Amino acid sequence: MYAAKKFGVTEFVNPKDHKKPVQEVIAEMTDGGVDRSVECTGNVNAMISAFECVHDGWGVAVLVGVPHKDAKFKTHPMNLLNERTLQGTFFGNYKPCSDLPSVIEMYMNKELELEKFITHEVPFLEINKAFELMLKGEGLRCIIRM
């Protein structure tokens, strides 16, 4: 949780701490839902929760994580009719030429701790293992040594 707060998280809700769906807990905490939610895990249930916890009328959910190829996103159609917005993005709409220098600067100034995102390292000969870890949802970021 501490790491999340370093990146601007103001509240943390563990679904395991509640008997009802986490989106209901968040809606109660925020008087109807959050203005924005961002899902980064690729877990389809987390994606659904991220969408269903945004406020009717103006809430926006952005899905960043890549789900399993067979995953299905299911929600009640009223969630869309109630003017919630669902967006998706690959790589966060990142523009390497203009955005990468600022990330490098943040890293060099120790404002961004990229090492904490690395979950595995494999030699190039085991590159398929890196893909397996990604597809299983076990690898957040894998370094491939060449």
* Span 22-41, pLDDT tens digits: 999 999 999 999 999 989 88
Q: Are residues 21 and 78 in the same domain?
A: yes
Q: Note whether 84 and 118 are same-domain residues.
A: no
Res 94 pLDDT > 80: no
Token pair 């406020």: residue = 55
Please state the pTM of the whole predicted model.
0.67
Same domain, 84 and 122: no
86: domain CATH number is 3.40.50.720
Pair 35, 12 in one domain: yes
Same domain, 102 and 85: no
Q: Which residues of 21-39 are buried (b: 16+ CB within 10 A; e: fewer)?
A: ebbebbbeeeeebbeebeb
Residues 109 and 44 both lie in one domain? no
Counting the structural domains of the chain, the total is: 2
Clarify whether residues 33 and 101 are in a common domain: no
Domain ends where: 91, 116, 137? 91
Q: Which helix (H) or strand (E) holds 44?
A: helix 44-52
Q: Domain check: are 12 and 48 in the same one?
A: yes
- Residue-wise pLDDT tens digits, 41-65: 889 999 999 999 999 999 999 999 8
Domain that holds residue 109: 96-145
CA–CA distance, 122 with 132 (Å, rounded to integer): 12
- Count CA within 13 A, CB hemisphere, residue 110: 0
